[in-house]
Amino acid sequence: MDLRQMKYFLAVAEERSFGRAAERLHMAQPPLTRQIRAIEASLGVRLFVRGPKGVELTEAGKALLEEVPNILAMARRAEEKVQSASLGLAGRLDIGIFGSSVLNVIPLLLKRFHDQRPDVKLSLHSLTKVEQLDALRERRILVGFNRLVPSESDIDVEVVLREKLVVGLNEQHPLCAKDEISIRDMDNEPMILYPNVSLPGLMESVCSAFRREESRIRIEQMVEDVLTCVALVSAGFGLCITTQSATNLRLPGIVYRPLKSRYLSDIELSCMYRHEDPSPVLSAFLDVVREFAESYNQETGTVARAVPVGTKRWG
């Protein structure tokens, strides 16, 4: 018995009349009668008997009536779920994140997406840049966010926005008296650098800026994440260069000042995903990311700079 036959059975069982059931189903009565007889033949039981007020359900028919509505409802839910998934309205979105991205940008993006598509389950995975690239290739995540992502033939990278850099320092440090802090101001000052990972990141950009401005960089500590970095700065172990979003970490004893540098004023936040990934959920999420990037760049007056060959750019 298929779903169509179940609908025929349910109509007759609820209407208690072949005539009314046929009208409800927009079909002639003889074909409906033949369908019910075919169901009875396939099951080897009588489902209906004639009664003084129309047809009546047999015990077998009553047993079937207890199950058919649930089966049809499940079939409808499955159909709706499949259709929603094909439109990116349902499903699962696994996202690779890192350090300071969760302090501002990522929560805003997730809220926008969740407001539009509440039936998509969001799952966040804290991963390094290398781990995100591996997770994308192994299909453990659909999309990742990071900075200074290398060009890869199988991975698409798009610059979402550029974020200003600031200097974090202990409130007792003499440089707190300055409105902005230059690379030269930090010559031979103890520095806390992050992330201490295999691929180039903010740490390499900071070291490069010191070299280009002919200043000595004195590395006090190299740590893996922004929270550890800011915590050490707040305790007076040294200074750090970090992103504007990190200023949301208001630990006791730390203050932030704008960074003044000819070679290091901001850093990009990029979105990466598998090349030509057909996922409707990913496509829907990227639409939200692009809308956010456009509004962010308009509000801040930011213009995305050149990015490596093989990547895409927004803004």
pLDDT value at 207 more than 70? yes
Statement to judge: residues 61 and 78 lie in one domain: yes
In this predicted model, what pLDDT tens digit does every residue of 30-51 receive, in sequence order?
999 999 999 999 999 999 998 8
Among 38, 66, 86, identify where a domain stops: 86
**Domain end among 67, 86, 105:** 86
Tell me if 146 sits within 8 A of 270, measured CB to CB: yes
Same domain, 171 and 294: yes
Question: What is the predicted pLDDT for the residue at 8?
Answer: 92
Q: What does the pLDDT average to over 256-283? A: 93
Same domain, 78 and 111: no
**Same domain for 96 and 110?**
yes
Do 100 and 228 have their domain in common?
yes
**Whether residue 139 is found in the same domain as residue 276:** yes
> Is residue 306 scored above 50 in pLDDT?
no
Q: What pLDDT, on a 0 to 100 scale, did the predictor assign at position 59?
A: 93
Centre a 10 Å sphere on the Cβ of residue 118 and count the other Cβ atoms it contains.
10
Q: pTM for the whole thing?
A: 0.66
Regarding whether 167 and 106 lie in a shared domain, the answer is: yes
* Window from 4-8, 73-77, 238-242 with minimum mean pLDDT: 73-77
Which of 291, 300, 299, 290 has its CA nearest to residue 265? 300
Angstrom distance (rounded) from CA 274 to CA 293: 20
User: Under the phi-then-psi rule, with left for phi > 0, alpha for psi from -120 to 50, and beta for the rest, what region is 264?
Assistant: beta
Classify strands 120-126 and 91-97 as parallel, antiparallel or unpaired.
parallel
- Decide if 113 contacts 288 (C-beta within 8 A): yes
C-alpha span between 4 and 7 (Å, rounded): 5
Quick one: pLDDT at residue 304? 45
Q: What is the tally of structural domains in the chain?
A: 2
- The enclosing domain of 96 has a CATH number of 3.40.190.290
What percentage of residues in the chain have a pLDDT greater than 70? Answer: 90
Query: Are 251 and 118 contained in the same domain?
Result: yes
With a cut of 70, say whether residue 122 has pLDDT above it.
yes
* Residue numbers of the domain that contains 192: 91-315
Residues 301 and 244 placed together within one structural domain of the fold: yes
Residues 33, 171: one domain?
no
- In the three-class reduction of DSSP (H, G, I as helix; E, B as strand; rest coil), residue 94 is classed as strand
- pLDDT tens digit sequence for 132-178: 999 999 999 999 999 888 888 999 999 898 889 999 999 999 999 99
